[in-house]
Amino acid sequence: MRPKWFDQWNKDNPTSVRGLAILIAVMGSAVILAVVIIGLGNPAQTSSMQTGPRGTAMYVPEFDVSLRRGDMTVADFYTDEPFVPERGEELAGDIYQNVQVLGGLTDANFNRLMNAMTQWVAPDQGCAYCHGDVALEEYGEDNLYTKVVARRMIEMTQSINENWDVHVNANAQVGVTCYTCHRGQNVPDNIWFRISPVNSAMAGWSANQNRVTMTSNFTSLPSDYLETYLLDFERIAVHDLAPRVENLPGDPLIQQTERTYAFMNYISNSLGVNCTFCHNSRAFYDGAQVTPQWATASLGIQMVQELNADYLVPLADVYPPERLGPVYGDPPLAACRTCHQGYQRPMEGLNVIHNWPELATTSGDYDYSAFEQ
């Protein structure tokens, strides 16, 4: 039995246990969460891919949960095995009017590819997206800009697969089709237009900075790097490592350095990798210490420059005003993210060209040998 003074003291000095209860609840929740993570697996667990020598931080980490989820558009890729041509079959160019590309295909393979293109680019509109709501006999007419653009895009796809095999198929046969960029949409995601100057009110060289944009990946780095490097063919470079160095004519300045950083940031985000995927962290500046991926990426940059210059920019007069850029009225252009969409290899390295030899060559000599019985 407690003495009376003890009970009186407790009565005169009441103590709240709320804080203690909260502390116990938080600690208990933490213990329960730890048990759940141990039992079910850590959702923030990462896996890494080593890209260079040990001890140089040359690795690319990825969350396991992201690796398990993967690219959701891969499941929607439509494909169909070709029909191996038989001797004497009539060709599409002899059957239909105005077949300027793919005329050397048999009727069955021509229509098979046309059906696939609707699945890849216009699954809702179907054939009418390029040909219009007209009779079959009128499909040869070029009344819609979409058909003219589609014809040129077929030629571009063939050129990529044939002339840029060293980039597209660097590790294994992957190839590209219309779906690689379009993913079931009329207009691909991650196209771009010229937007500079972003900031014209700043005295001197604005560097297109202090205006955070999606193009700059929400940094204050320059936003005109895509047009500078992928459209104007300027040299990608950084300034001298030494301080107070005397610049000679043609040497890169701090402006080019910042623009290069912006471009590298864009490439990293486009492929879902970090800087050490291509560069050695102990010597970013040394081209002799880069990884093999650096060469593949460099070829990719050259490829995109060619695609923009030879295929996309010339379509400026074909597109209607609503499909042109908001500032300069320029046509939609491509860059790394247009194909990669956040993955090291587009569509996680799915071989999309295997069933489509028609899109793998510009010569018209389609190789069906892999499908012969």
**What are the tokens at 203?**
């005295």
pLDDT at 339: 96
Determine if residue 131 is labeled as part of a ligand binding site.
Answer: yes
Question: Is 80 exceeded by the pLDDT of residue 1?
Answer: no
Same CATH fold assignment for domains 79-186+353-373 and 190-340: yes
Determine if residue 347 is labeled as part of a ligand binding site.
Answer: no
Residue 290 CB coordination number (10 Å):
17
**What's the half-sphere exposure (Cβ side, CA atoms, 13 Å) at 221?**
20
Determine if residue 279 is labeled as part of a ligand binding site.
Answer: yes
pLDDT above 70 covers a percentage of the chain that reads: 90
Determine if residue 354 is labeled as part of a ligand binding site.
Answer: no
* Cβ–Cβ < 8 Å for 177, 359: yes
Determine if residue 339 is labeled as part of a ligand binding site.
Answer: yes
Using one digit for the tens of pLDDT, what is the confidence trace for 218-247? 787 888 899 999 999 999 988 777 777 787
Per DSSP bridges, beta strands 59-63 and 46-50 are antiparallel
What amino acid is encoded at 23 in this protein? Answer: L
Cα 102 from Cα 106, distance rounded (Å): 9
Asked which of 40-49, 204-213, 286-295, 317-326 is least confident by mean pLDDT, the reply is 204-213
**What are the tokens at 59?**
């690795």
Determine if residue 153 is labeled as part of a ligand binding site.
Answer: yes
**What are the tokens at 169?**
């198929």
Cα 19 from Cα 36, distance rounded (Å): 26
Average pLDDT of 77-82? 95
Q: What CATH number does the domain located at 190-340 have?
A: 1.10.468.10
Average pLDDT of 93-122? 95
Determine if residue 278 is labeled as part of a ligand binding site.
Answer: yes
Domain boundaries, the chain: 79-186+353-373, 190-340
Determine if residue 130 is labeled as part of a ligand binding site.
Answer: yes
What amino acid is encoded at 22 in this protein? Answer: I
Taken in order 42, 44, 50, 52, the sign of the CA dihedral is negative
Length of the chain: 373
DSSP secondary structure code for residue 217 in this structure: T
Question: Is 80 exceeded by the pLDDT of residue 348?
Answer: yes
Task: Look at the domain 79-186+353-373 and name its fold.
Answer: Photosynthetic Reaction Center, subunit C; domain 2 (1.10.468)
Cα 67 from Cα 58, distance rounded (Å): 19
Using one digit for the tens of pLDDT, what is the confidence trace for 28-72? 888 888 777 666 666 667 777 777 777 667 777 766 666 667 788
Determine if residue 264 is labeled as part of a ligand binding site.
Answer: yes
Determine if residue 275 is labeled as part of a ligand binding site.
Answer: yes
Average pLDDT of 7-14? 75
Determine if residue 127 is labeled as part of a ligand binding site.
Answer: yes
Buried b (16+ CB within 10 A) or exposed e, 246-269: eeeeeebeeebebbbbbbbbbbbe
> Cβ neighbours of residue 350 under 8 Å, at least 6 residues apart?
74, 77, 174
